[in-house]
Structure 1
Amino acid sequence: MISAALQRIAPSRTTAMTDRAIELRAAGRDIISLSVGEPDFATPAHVIEAAKAALDAGETRYTQVPGTLALREAAALHFSRDLGIAVPPGQVIVSAGGKQAIFHALLATLNPGDAVLVPSPWWVSYPEIVRFAGAEVVDLPTTATSGFRITPEQLDAAITPHCRWLLLNSPGNPTGATYPAAELRALGEVLRRQPQVMVLSDDIYAPLRYTPGAHATLAVECPDLADRILTVSGVSKSHAMTGFRIGVAAGPQWLISAMGRLQSHSSGNAASISQAAAVAAFSGPQDFLEDWRERFRVRRDSVVAAINAVPGLSCPVPDGAFYCMVDAAPLMDRFGDDEALCLHLLEHGVAVVAASAFGGAAGFRISFAADDAKLAEALRRIAAALA
């Protein structure tokens, strides 16, 4: 019999759409998938060589549950160099992907009756993890007009004594929205008055920003709140290492220890070979990222221009990540809802994910982490399908 906890959650709709695209391709259909958040670039050569070297050296045994010291030191370097967060390796935990770090943090701290503040549109797994833990999701809706960012006033009005976490994702999935430093400091002013609220800062897309200046994160902008901030990062998006399944998180010692206790009974350590590869990713050359960012920027601009040229569709320019959140509200009289619209596009050979999967409505998310030719053809098909 399925547990009550599992009955509270739904399968990932981004994964479901990707799986459906794969099934249709296997059946002989020509489907271009813009549904998955996975860079199409090759994993950097020095990372692959590090994985091979670890295999040749026989590094195929258990590691410490929170990760090898070498990787926690490399992750600490990443947090300092790329995010501006000074953290000792002892306050870093390595997980099997950033999703696991988020899952463990929330499961280790939430009780039935607690509440978690989640800005929407949200990453699909946020509300499901909260519900699995038995807590309530408090939706903080945002729009393109607000830059897909919550305001201090909105946050202040939503907090109750039952709130235990605020989830912040910058740059965000599915919107690509990024919080500037001044806005983070303003949110910090609200949080200072609410000591029961912790913050999970998901900065996995920080290396893939297109706005000038340094990346801003709450632990840096509000250092006095650092003892209740967990910052999550990884190598999946920045180094095209989705299959390696390595996430890292930095935060207060008590929370990192609690996550480690839970991880010791779930996955144990992350894969040893993947950890060796991630050491090279964090501590090795980073210059390739400049080229990747520029290529993503060109794709972003072409997608935004093509979408805004289709009657009934509109799309703001995202600040980071590799997603565009498309508004299709004028087409809802024709299709009824965004799920029907996405199925219509799938019949025309393009897989995208409905905005309702992210807590939004009347639109869809496009991932532009696809090669240029496929992206151009997908955009042509979308325009033709809606003509």
Structure 2
Amino acid sequence: MHRRSPAYSSLSRRSILAAGTGVAVVGGVAALVAVLRKPRAHPASSLVPAPEPSWVYLSDPLLQAPAVFSDGTALLKARPGTMICLDLDNGSRPKWIYQGISLSPTPVLLTDGAAVALGTGATVIGVDPASGSERFTLDFGTDFQFDQLLGAYEGFSVSVLGARLERQSPEQGVATSTDAVFGVDLQARQARVIPISPEDVGIRLQPVITSDYFVYADGLRNVSVRSTRDAGALRWRHPVGYDLRPGLAVLGQTVFAIGSELIALELSTGRLRWRAKPKHGLFASLGVGGNTVYAIGNDPYGVYAFNAANGSQRWFCETPRLDGDHPIAVGPHAVYAAALENQNGFFAIEAASGRLRWNFTDGRDTGVNGWQISCDRDGHLVAHHYDRVYGLPNT
């Protein structure tokens, strides 16, 4: 059963930061908690102090997926299977909490006027992003298992990574399962298999999905592009090699891919437009915004900015060691990259000049739980780290 929870209910199953009191309610028992440590600036003399958070929200452990923005709010996912809506002006208490989604490590999708997430089995759930009330639940039966939302297109369709289950008989249960990508039409309430080969989904699949194209790095280290129509027909493949990273980016009509070099490919044909190399080593992750593509380099560590049209380098900002497994978050005035060690937080770099500005951290080492950073078009910055969400002002 799925339902919308009142913003301050179900205290016995979650921890909610009591605003201004320093008391958290955990498991129905009031416990005095230490005042949160103020985030500190990186000691490097060239850095200015990091901004103080406008608000902090303490929750159940958050899933490793960045926030998604909707009409002045941020939508996040937490254990045990909840969608949380936080106001960007003051997110210290949630506007609403919806219970009953899966623990899929992908962001909420905003499509067809709903915040879409997966449920159990082969269900897709749509929640009203303003009120948290359930708009629909689509169950596609026992022949499928949905594991991960991949993206949305055409305003009402989503792509899902999962498995197709083949049964010999009802008594024998599941005989075999095959990894598959599904196209789910929310309006027609239909799911169809997109014919992506097993080697394609045998790696971490991180596609970019547009109204016409399904763009991804396949298991044979090609940049591959399929149609979101025509039953997922292959449009083109561009071989890259062993060092191709799974995270791609699309800006306008150009696909960007990285490894030992950054390449720009024409989206419709796969034609090579330009390529660029780091000083040494490899590129590790990407971000795009405006007319610029950003890439993390690992020798030396830092962030490159390239003109998206012709590949000319705008700047390089050397930084402490960065986490190349997370994409660069791009805002209107700055870009943000997570430090390699999550106790060191993340760095802000001026988008125009490439100057390293500040380092924000809460100083906690949470193991494998890295920082998730999101920025909307107005510059609102939401960063979450394990069980805390920080709302940072425009800078």
TM class by shorter chain equals under 0.3
Q: Name the TM-score, length of structure 2 as normaliser.
A: 0.25
- Normalising by structure 1, we get a TM-score of 0.25
More strand by share: 2
Specify the structure having the higher radius of gyration (Cα): 2
